[in-house]
Amino acid sequence: MTELRQRMIADLRLRGYSERTVQAYVHPVARLAQHYRTPPDRLTEEQLRDYLLHLTHVQKVSRSTHTIALCGIKFFYQHTLGRQWKVLEIARPRAEKKLPAVLSRDEVVQILAAVRTSVYRACLTTIYSCGLRLLEGAQLQVPDIDGGRKLVHVHHGKGALDRYVPLPDATLTLLREFWRTHRNPLWLFPTGTRSHVAPLHDPAVGPISRASLQSAFVRAVKNCGIRKQAHVHTLRHSYATHLLEDGVPLQLIQEYLGHKSARTTTLYTHLTRELREAALQPINRLTATLHLAH
């Protein structure tokens, strides 16, 4: 590891960023250096401008990839090197107005039933029924479950925020029954559950990996013949949409999801079935006479 890379990592840690964010920010700076085959502190502002245009117009990376790259590069030049370049102030990822895919209740049931491995099925069910992010679900620990109060304590969520989310009775029963199959004192979903090779009761055993959980979900979606572009995070979108359809106030859903801004949660008002059906009724009335004309 170069001295410059170590310095950036130290700066990020001093700012209180999580290790996951540290790695996400360091990676695009390394890619920048590889692109020019030159240490990043020797690059000019014009070279950086060309590279950011390259990401957008040549590689055509997604908005999220571009945002992370820009954040990492901006931190490196502004904070680690102390350079206040204008290009870093004007560069912005292109705007997108995409609505996420949402699964129906029946589709959620169908997909979860199609997950063959018990540890993945238990974890994915918990992610949906508690509105968790992928990593929050995979890394749930036994002490996070408050069975008496029917709550899940989510530690260090996005933005390093803790929160409590409601724990449904059926999910609590599922977690208790599944835990009895491995009795690990720390992890609810230990990594060795599938192969039964590792000593599952050993707290040194880590949690299941994000990649394996995502693969299990995508495989189940495909096996069910569902054509939607669904991934594990789709369960969280579906959870929020289903709660809103059932009349749960938006403010509560915002709290459950751990959103800092209500604007983020408002997205789900565009996805509810009730609103779509309400809009369809006047449209049907408008077009009724057109069908009669044929």
What DSSP letter does each residue of 198-230 carry, written as one string? S-TT-TTS-BPPHHHHHHHHHHHHHHTT--S--
Domains 3-90 and 105-274 share a fold: no
> What pLDDT shows up at residue 198?
47
> What pLDDT shows up at residue 137?
95
Overall average pLDDT of the 81-103 stretch: 83
Overall average pLDDT of the 7-33 stretch: 92
Catalytic residues: 133, 158, 233, 236, 259, 268
> What pLDDT shows up at residue 168?
92
> What pLDDT shows up at residue 265?
75
Instruction: Indicate if the pLDDT at residue 138 is higher than 90.
Output: yes
> What pLDDT shows up at residue 93?
73
How confident is the model over 248-284, as pLDDT tens digits? Answer: 888 888 888 888 777 777 777 766 665 556 555 665 6
The length of the chain, given as a count of residues: 294
> What pLDDT shows up at residue 119?
95
Predicted TM-score (pTM) of this structure: 0.71
Q: Where are the alpha helices (DSSP H) in the chain?
A: 3-14, 19-36, 45-57, 63-75, 87-90, 105-114, 118-130, 134-138, 169-179, 210-223, 232-245, 250-257, 262-266, 273-293
> What pLDDT shows up at residue 107?
95
> What pLDDT shows up at residue 197?
47
User: How does residue 25 score in pLDDT terms, banded at 50, 70 and 90?
Assistant: very high
Overall average pLDDT of the 90-118 stretch: 86
Q: Which CATH class is domain 105-274?
A: mainly alpha
Protein fold of 3-90 = DNA polymerase; domain 1 (1.10.150)
Overall average pLDDT of the 138-158 stretch: 90
> What pLDDT shows up at residue 288?
58
> What pLDDT shows up at residue 249?
86
> What pLDDT shows up at residue 194?
47
> What pLDDT shows up at residue 76?
95
> What pLDDT shows up at residue 70?
93
- What is the rounded distance in angstroms from the CA atom of residue 37 to the CA atom of residue 52? 16
229 φ/ψ sector (left φ>0, alpha ψ -120 to 50, else beta): beta
Average pLDDT over the chain, rounded to whole?
Answer: 86
Residue 187 in contact with residue 175, Cβ under 8 Å?
no
> What pLDDT shows up at residue 157?
63
DSSP letter (8 states) at residue 164: E
Overall average pLDDT of the 102-116 stretch: 94
Radius of gyration in angstroms for the set of CA atoms belonging to the chain, rounded to a whole number: 23
Facing residues of 198 across strands?
A: none
Residue 207 in contact with residue 189, Cβ under 8 Å?
yes
Q: Domain boundaries in the chain? A: 3-90, 105-274
- What is the rounded distance in angstroms from the CA atom of residue 94 to the CA atom of residue 55? 11
Instruction: Indicate if the pLDDT at residue 97 is higher than 70.
Output: no
User: How does residue 151 score in pLDDT terms, banded at 50, 70 and 90?
Assistant: very high
Overall average pLDDT of the 139-154 stretch: 94
